[in-house]
Amino acid sequence: NAGVTQTPKFQVLKTGQSMTLQCAQDMNHNSMYWYRQDPGMGLRLIYYSASEGTTDKGEVPNGYNVSRLNKREFSLRLESAAPSQTSVYFCATRGLEQYFGPGTRLTVT
Amino acid sequence: SQKIEQNSEALNIQEGKTATLTCNYTNYSPAYLQWYRQDPGRGPVFLLLIRENEKEKRKERLKVTFDTTLKQSLFHITASQPADSATYLCALDMKGGATNKLIFGTGTLLAVQP
């Protein structure tokens, strides 16, 4: 079992470009999450999905959209990237404890 | 306002000693408190969970305490090793259950010197 997988691992975008971060889990969990992590700021929740077909905003949703494609997959889209979105992005799922993917390091120039 | 605080400064200790990390929170009443380890360039990994009605939980060299009156959790690593060097995050779980959000602290960097 792979647990939580994310693609890509690294990405460089120019300001204004768009991209989608992909996440998949094989743990059969209902809930999935997208976080960003910046130095000194800790993990901040962008969006989450409590179950297939539902999504909700977290602490920092502006500039992002999400799609819960099915129970396994939860994608995060940046429609028009900005330098402030330079960060490391983590997808996660949870039973009682949370399981994180390996992260995507995104740089927006 | 609601806050979770972990030591923002790095904790440096000598190999073999006990490391103690602190997680304080205000204006929350969590049902559970969880601890995670994060290595550079990787996602956090779950270590331990403690419930509000538990005072202490142990797992091998790890021990967690939870004082709901003080609104504080302490995380201990006994007989610390250089391999324990990492950032440790605490997380509050308000209700428990898979559909609820965790609220993370910013983490404490632990450096164990050989």
Give A17-39 pLDDT, tens digit per residue: 999 999 999 999 999 999 999 98
Put simply, the answer to whether B101 touches A58 (Cβ < 8 Å) is yes
Do residues A74 and A6 lie in contact, with contact meaning Cβ atoms separated by under 8 Å?
no
Say whether pLDDT at A2 is over 80: no
Q: Kindly identify which residue of chain B lies nearest to residue A39, measuring between CA atoms.
A: B106
- How many C-beta atoms surround the C-beta of residue B108 within 10 A? 21
Strands B108-113 and B86-93: antiparallel
Which of B34, B101, B105 is facing A97, going by the closest CB pair?
A: B34
Using alpha carbons, list the distances in angstroms from residue B16 to A78, A96, B37, B48, B84: 46, 32, 19, 21, 11
Q: What is the mean pLDDT of chain B?
A: 91
Put simply, whether B36 touches A (Cβ < 8 Å) is yes
pLDDT tens across A40-85, in order? Answer: 888 999 999 999 989 999 999 999 999 998 999 999 999 999 999 9
**What residues of chain A lie within 8 A of the CB of B50, using their CB?**
none
Mutate to test the interface with A, among B4, B6, B46, B92 (most CBs of A within 10 A): B46
Q: Is B51 on the interface with A (CB under 8 A)?
A: no
Q: Supply φ then ψ for residue A97, to 5 degrees.
A: -95, 165
Tell me the three state secondary structure of residue B114: coil
Per-residue pLDDT at B56 exceeds 70: yes
> Cβ of A43 under 8 Å from any chain B Cβ?
yes
